[in-house]
């Protein structure tokens, strides 16, 4: 293993342990830096101190001009962000004397508004899982929880039964979510989500649990194992197809719709920030633009002197 490979391993341990980044994020960093190291190896570089600003620039150019197809601006920005972060780490750790990536600028990204579906469309998706069989009870509980809490799909599938906290009457009342960096937040459950979770926990999960080994996971697959992110995505896609929406939706559609519908209903942006687990209110304010666009469209359509 070269000196540079060792430095990358140290960096990945750093972001995993000290910064508390998720396994998925660390894996993305590993892939990005793997491509960076491949370019450096082709230029005969095997130590951190041998990397020059020209090498970082060459990687940036390679991302935009690679023969198999240039990366999108967002992918290029992410990979260059990984490289910049790695070089800051090298400097902080005293492995290099200067940060050669400090002047590397990622491409500017167009402002993309989150995609949300309407309340009626969401209701159609939820009702598509309205059956009384074990799988439908599980799917309805998962979908209702996603829409009721705005949870990321990874947060939802990582839930254990003990993370659903009941009231004095025993019914599900709030859910404990663990976001990025292990940050914990408590999010209330609406009446529909409470009803769906109670039905699943009483009538469906015990049956699914008998099909596999003992696990504390809240949402179980048909073989009794914890539902994976991929399985959850397939559940959402199948129910959306049943609802005949005519559009593709993803797990993040539930999160976007949760935030957009709350703000449209008059919720304070800082309350929505806490519910979503955003570290900065600026991230949450993107959803206010979605709401403003909707109001503008309604105004243009309805007001006699708007056009």
Percent of the chain having pLDDT more than 90? 49
Note if 152 is an active site residue. Answer: yes
Cβ pair 264, 271 in contact under 8 A: no
Distances (CA, A) of 239 to 41, 124, 221, 230, 267: 47, 9, 16, 14, 28
pLDDT per position as a tens digit, 15-48: 888 777 778 888 889 999 999 999 999 999 999 9
Which among 58, 140, 137, 70 is positioned nearest to 100, based on CA atoms?
58
Give backbone dihedrals phi and psi of 78, rounded to 5 degrees, phi first.
-65, -45
Catalytic residue among 152, 205, 256, 261: 152
What sign results for the dihedral spanned by CA atoms 246, 247, 248, 251?
Answer: negative
Note if 307 is an active site residue. Answer: no
Catalytic residue among 140, 205, 239, 278: 278
Cβ pair 162, 188 in contact under 8 A: no
Residue 101 has pLDDT above 80, yes or no: yes
Q: Which residue has the higher pLDDT, 230 or 289?
A: 230
Of 122-126, 159-163, 164-168, least confident by mean pLDDT is: 164-168
Annotation: CATH topology of 119-299 = hpI Integrase; Chain A (1.10.443)
Domain residue limits, the chain: 3-92, 119-299
Q: What is the pLDDT of residue 294?
A: 54
Q: What is the pLDDT of residue 301?
A: 61
Q: What is the pLDDT of residue 113?
A: 58
Q: What is the pLDDT of residue 302?
A: 58
Catalytic residue among 180, 185, 226, 237: 180
Helices (H) and strands (E) in the chain, counts: 14, 3
Q: Which residue has the higher pLDDT, 1 or 81?
A: 81
Long-range contacts of 167-171 (CB under 8 A, 24+ apart): 171/198
Residue 142 has pLDDT above 70, yes or no: yes
Average pLDDT of span 185-191: 89
Of 42-51, 241-250, 282-291, least confident by mean pLDDT is: 282-291
Note if 255 is an active site residue. Answer: yes
Q: Which residue has the higher pLDDT, 296 or 96?
A: 96
Q: What is the pLDDT of residue 75?
A: 80
Mean of pLDDT over the chain: 85
Note if 287 is an active site residue. Answer: yes
Average pLDDT of span 187-211: 93
Catalytic residue among 87, 194, 205, 255: 255
Residue 74 has pLDDT above 80, yes or no: no
**Residue 8 banded pLDDT, cuts 50, 70, 90:** very high
Average pLDDT of span 230-254: 90
Catalytic residue among 11, 36, 147, 287: 287
Annotation: CATH topology of 3-92 = DNA polymerase; domain 1 (1.10.150)
Q: Exposed, middle or buried, 264 (CB in 10 Å: 0-12/13-18/19+)?
A: middle
**Helix-, strand-, coil-residue percentages of the chain, each rounded to 5:** 60, 5, 35
188, β-bridge pairs:
174
pLDDT per position as a tens digit, 107-136: 665 555 567 889 999 999 999 999 999 999
Task: Quickly list DSSP for 160-201.
Answer: BGGGEEE-TTSSEEEEEEE-GGG-EEEEE--HHHHHHHHHII
Q: What is the pLDDT of residue 167?
A: 62
Note if 180 is an active site residue. Answer: yes
């Amino acid at each position: 293993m070269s000196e540079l490979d060792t430095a990358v391993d140290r960096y990945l341990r750093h972001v995993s342990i000290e910064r508390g980044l998720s396994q998925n994020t660390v894996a993305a960093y590993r892939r990005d830096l793997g491509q960076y190291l491949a370019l450096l190896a082709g230029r005969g570089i095997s130590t951190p101190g041998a990397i020059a600003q020209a090498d970082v620039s060459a990687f940036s150019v390679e991302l935009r001009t690679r023969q198999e197809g240039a990366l999108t601006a967002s992918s290029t920005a992410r990979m260059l962000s990984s490289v910049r972060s790695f070089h800051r780490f090298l400097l902080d750790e005293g492995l290099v004397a200067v940060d050669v990536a400090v002047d590397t600028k990622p491409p500017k990204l167009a402002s993309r508004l989150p995609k949300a579906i309407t309340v009626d469309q969401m209701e159609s998706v939820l009702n598509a899982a309205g059956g009384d069989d074990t799988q439908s009870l599980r799917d309805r509980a998962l979908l209702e929880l996603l829409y009721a809490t705005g949870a990321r799909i990874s947060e939802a599938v990582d839930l254990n039964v003990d993370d659903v906290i009941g009231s004095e009457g025993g019914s599900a009342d709030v859910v404990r979510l663990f976001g990025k960096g292990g940050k914990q937040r408590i999010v209330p459950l609406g009446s529909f989500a409470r009803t769906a979770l109670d039905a699943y926990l009483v009538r469906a999960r015990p049956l699914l649990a008998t099909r596999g080994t003992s696990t504390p996971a809240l949402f179980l697959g048909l073989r009794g194992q914890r539902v994976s992110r991929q399985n959850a995505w397939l559940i959402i896609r199948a129910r959306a197809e049943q609802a005949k929406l005519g559009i593709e939706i993803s797990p993040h559609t539930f999160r976007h719709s949760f935030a957009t519908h709350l703000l449209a209903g008059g919720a304070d942006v800082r309350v929505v920030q806490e519910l979503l687990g955003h570290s900065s209110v600026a991230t949450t304010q993107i959803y206010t633009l979605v709401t403003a666009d909707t109001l503008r469209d309604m105004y243009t359509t309805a007001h006699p002197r708007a056009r």
